[in-house]
Structure 1
Amino acid sequence: MAPCAGCFLLAVLFSANCKVITFLDPMCTEKEASRTYNCENLGLKEIPDTLPNTTEFLEFGFNFLPTVQNTTFSRLINLIFLDLTRYVS
């Protein structure tokens, strides 16, 4: 088998076993696809831009937002539930 063909076969086998990841933020955890995210206790100072606007439930407690304004969560147009437990400003 040619070296390139072997690499291609390995790549195909590897990708067949991988889960497709649609949420690329390395910190927040996607609990339900494109709807529910946990960003608790990560020392965040802003809402990650990588959260999709389809987010409905956001756990954001134990973080450090400097201010919360009317526009802080405006990009998350489907947001229903927001947990700011122990929010520190």
Structure 2
Amino acid sequence: MASRATSVFLLSFTLSCAVMLLVANVSNAERPLNLPPLCGSKSDCEFIWCPHGKGGKGECIGWPCDTTEYCMKVVRCDATPGPYCMEGICTC
């Protein structure tokens, strides 16, 4: 009797682990691989400053927008609120 209960327990445990692994793999596959660039603000840039590489070089980019949702698709802001659409330009 105890061996049958143990077998049922081990079988159900194994199946639940397999289901959890499958769900975790599906959720990872749905995550976008191409994230928007991580940018921010800089005093001499009136738009969004996006650094490139470790050399500190970058560019000041002004993405035209209609909605804040669009800005969230094209850029991520580092340590600032946003991004959001203000006066037709994405800003951080």
Shared fold (TM-score, shorter chain, > 0.5): no
Q: Which has the higher strand share?
A: 2
Q: Which has the higher helix share?
A: 2
